[in-house]
């Protein structure tokens, strides 16, 4: 039996967890959970100047919020630099890599020329065949880089998502694996680390496809078998361009602040480029784990549809048990001054019934907070459109509602049937449709023209507040 797969998420610390990164992390995690494998977290922080501890922390916070937990790590790529250099040394010794003494100016010139001639590979290989003794001598006092010697032929792999993928090696230049300052480049470090961490499956964004032939060649030169590659399609905005800040928030943390649930976010991210094979959309994390397989990742790029995210999140809010939902919305309610910790504690059962009533209509926790507000306070924000529509003639409306309230105040039991019967009887007496009382009443007590059944609302709101 094949051993359990080992996968990794390897973000560069750029300050926040991007939607695309979160999706990559989630796919790796779902695959590991589904297969009983191991999910490794590795921070690719070799670029020390940009990689600060806070930036890394922002990524960890985002993953933690999503519930994407790691079994190993976080490892730090920077800690492996000695091993990276040792691997470069092995490449040098076998002749799979060589020292290059070209100056940046010379390389720039080659690049310009290749550009002119329409060639992909810029470096012309001029240091490939320098005799060993000359290399020894020059290396003592000349700066050098180490370049990988691309072999002839083609590099082909069977991508789980993209199928058979091939590159002509002549299109790939002898790329640098070790810089002049002795630091390893991404392609070298990533292979060295994936080998060290025994990664069996690399699942990452399709923007890495062009790195893959280089990495496969490094694996081979180090005498190792490459892992299985799955390149996940890129995420596009609704205009078909690659998702960016122009399209709105791209940081996972911003969605958290905007009142999205991590379960809604996970569900949405999972469907960005993957599908369960039927038209199921609403799935909690356990279902995602159960159904996630790599062969169901689409080749086509995925469109980030904000409406769909809101819709899915609304489904998750509606399906969250009210006591749990209370915990999630509590900080927002308190920050918005709607209620206090003590009051929520004192009236927790009552508050569950408020949430039971309103949770099917809110797409975010922030919206939920606004739907809850009328149950606590008379200090409402009235929706101007609702007021305009149902309070067009305020005097008439006030007159009718005053009569209604004095009638309802006789209802000792404050029961749903009783309230409805009284309202309908009064409307008949007034010679108007029941809607002429119901709609203005709804605006008066909820601030909005839409709410759950008005009699249910009144029951839960209680006689005094109504
Ligand atoms: N650190 C790379 C990035 O953030 C990922 C490397 C990889 O997955 O191979 O894009």
pLDDT per residue as tens digits for the range 126-180 = 999 999 999 999 999 999 999 999 999 999 999 999 999 999 999 999 999 999 9
26 Cα: distance to centroid of ligand 1 (angstroms): 14
26-45 b/e with 16+ CB inside 10 Å = b? bbbbbbbbbbebbbbbbbbb
| pLDDT, greater one: 363 or 16 | 363
Q: Which pLDDT score is estimated for 48?
A: 64
| Cα angle: 286, vertex 6, 43; to 5 degrees | 95
20 Cα: distance to centroid of ligand 1 (angstroms): 11
Is there an atom of ligand 1 within 6 Å of 173 CB? no
Of the pLDDT bands very low, low, confident and very high (cuts 50, 70, 90), residue 15 is: confident
Q: Which pLDDT score is estimated for 49?
A: 63
Q: What is the mean pLDDT of residues 4-12?
A: 96
Are the beta carbons of 96 and 295 closer than 8 angstroms? no
Q: Which pLDDT score is estimated for 379?
A: 79
Of the pLDDT bands very low, low, confident and very high (cuts 50, 70, 90), residue 14 is: confident
Is there an atom of ligand 1 within 6 Å of 17 CB? no
Task: Find, among 81, 70, 9, 74, the residue nearest to 38 by Cα.
Answer: 70
Task: Please give the number of the atom of ligand 1 that sits closest to the Cα of 190.
Answer: 9
Q: Which pLDDT score is estimated for 377?
A: 80
pLDDT at 354 exceeding the cut of 90: yes
Q: Which pLDDT score is estimated for 92?
A: 98
Which of 63, 186, 203, 206 to mutate for ligand 1's pocket (most ligand atoms within 8 Å of CB)? 186
Q: What is the mean pLDDT of residues 81-106?
A: 97
2 Cα: distance to centroid of ligand 1 (angstroms): 26
Q: What is the mean pLDDT of residues 419-432?
A: 94
What's the whole-number average pLDDT of the chain? 94
Q: Which pLDDT score is estimated for 378?
A: 74
In this structure, which residue's CA is closest to atom 6 in ligand 1?
A: 10
Is there an atom of ligand 1 within 6 Å of 47 CB? no
Task: Please give the number of the atom of ligand 1 that sits closest to the Cα of 8.
Answer: 8
Burial environment of residue 190 by CB neighbours within 10 A (0 to 12, 13 to 18, 19 or more): buried
Share of the chain above pLDDT 70, in %: 98
Which of 23, 208, 216 to mutate for ligand 1's pocket (most ligand atoms within 8 Å of CB)? 208
pLDDT at 1 exceeding the cut of 60: no
Q: Which pLDDT score is estimated for 464?
A: 87
Q: Which pLDDT score is estimated for 415?
A: 87
pLDDT in tens, 217-257: 999 999 999 999 999 999 999 999 999 888 888 899 999 99
Which of 8, 9, 12 to mutate for ligand 1's pocket (most ligand atoms within 8 Å of CB)? 12
Token pair 């928030």 is found at 249
Which residues are the active-site residues?
245
Contacts of 128 (CB under 8 A, 6+ apart): 98, 149, 174
| pLDDT, greater one: 3 or 428 | 428
459 Cα: distance to centroid of ligand 1 (angstroms): 55
pLDDT in tens, 359-382: 999 999 999 999 999 999 877 889
Q: What is the mean pLDDT of residues 320-349?
A: 96
User: Do the bridges between strand 38-43 and strand 72-76 make them parallel or antiparallel, or are there none, so unpaired?
Assistant: parallel
Helix, strand, or coil (residue 47): coil
pLDDT at 51 exceeding the cut of 70: no
Are the beta carbons of 434 and 426 closer than 8 angstroms? no
Is there an atom of ligand 1 within 6 Å of 190 CB? yes
pLDDT at 109 exceeding the cut of 90: yes
Q: Which pLDDT score is estimated for 202?
A: 98
Q: Which pLDDT score is estimated for 454?
A: 94
pTM assigned to the model: 0.93
11 Cα: distance to centroid of ligand 1 (angstroms): 6
Q: Which pLDDT score is estimated for 417?
A: 82
Alpha helices in 238-373 (DSSP H): 252-257, 262-270, 285-291, 306-318, 322-335, 341-346, 348-358, 365-372
Of the pLDDT bands very low, low, confident and very high (cuts 50, 70, 90), residue 461 is: very high
Q: What is the mean pLDDT of residues 32-52?
A: 87
167: β partners = 155
Token pair 């799955």 is found at 230
Of the pLDDT bands very low, low, confident and very high (cuts 50, 70, 90), residue 204 is: very high
DSSP string, 376-438: T-S-PPPPHHHHHHH-SSHHHHHHHHHHHHHHHTT-SS--HHHHHHHHHHHHHHHTS-THHHH
């Amino acid at each position: 039996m094949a051993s359990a797969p080992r996968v990794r998420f390897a973000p560069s610390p750029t300050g926040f967890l991007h939607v695309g990164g979160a999706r990559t992390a989630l796919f790796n995690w779902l695959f590991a959970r589904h297969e009983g494998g191991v999910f490794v977290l590795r921070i690719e922080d070799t670029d020390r100047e940009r990689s600060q501890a806070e930036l890394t922390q922002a990524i960890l916070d985002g993953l933690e919020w999503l519930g994407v937990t790691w079994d190993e790590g976080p490892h730090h790529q920077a800690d492996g630099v000695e091993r990276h250099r040792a691997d470069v040394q092995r490449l040098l010794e076998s002749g799979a890599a060589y020292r290059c003494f070209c100056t940046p100016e010379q390389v720039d010139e080659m690049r310009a020329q290749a550009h002119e001639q329409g060639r992909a590979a810029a470096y012309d290989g001029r240091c490939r065949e320098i005799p060993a003794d000359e290399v020894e001598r020059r290396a003592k006092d000349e700066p050098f880089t180490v370049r990988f010697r691309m072999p002839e032929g083609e590099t082909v792999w069977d991508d789980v998502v993209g199928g058979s993928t091939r590159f002509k090696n002549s299109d790939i230049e002898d790329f640098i694996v070790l810089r002049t300052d002795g630091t390893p480049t991404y392609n070298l470090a990533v292979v060295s680390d994936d080998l060290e961490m025994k990664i069996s499956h690399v699942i990452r964004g399709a923007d890495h496809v062009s790195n893959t032939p280089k990495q496969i060649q490094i694996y081979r030169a180090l005498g190792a078998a490459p892992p299985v590659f799955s390149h996940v399609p890129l995420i596009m905005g609704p205009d078909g361009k690659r998702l960016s800040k122009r399209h709105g928030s791209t940081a996972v943390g911003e969605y958290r602040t905007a009142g999205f649930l991590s379960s809604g976010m996970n569900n949405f991210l999972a469907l960005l480029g993957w599908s369960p094979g039927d038209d199921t959309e609403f799935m909690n994390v356990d279902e995602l784990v159960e159904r996630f397989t790599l062969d169901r990742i689409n080749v086509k790029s995925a469109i980030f549809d904000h409406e769909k995210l809101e819709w899915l999140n609304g489904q998750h809010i509606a399906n969250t048990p009210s006591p749990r939902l209370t915990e999630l919305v509590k900080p927002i309610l308190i920050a918005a001054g709607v209620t206090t910790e003590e009051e929520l504690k004192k009236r927790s059962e009552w508050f569950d019934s408020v949430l039971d009533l309103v949770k099917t209509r809110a797409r975010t926790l922030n919206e939920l907070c606004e739907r809850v507000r009328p149950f606590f306070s008379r200090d409402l924000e009235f929706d101007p459109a609702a007021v305009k529509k149902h309070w067009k003639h305020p005097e008439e409306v006030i007159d009718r509602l005053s009569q209604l309230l004095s009638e309802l105040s006789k209802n000792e039991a404050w029961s749903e049937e009783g309230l409805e019967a009284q309202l309908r009887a009064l409307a008949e007496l007034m010679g108007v449709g029941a809607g002429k009382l119901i709609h203005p009443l709804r605006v008066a007590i909820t601030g909005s023209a839409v709410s759950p059944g008005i009699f249910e609302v009144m029951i839960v709101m209680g006689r005094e507040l109504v």
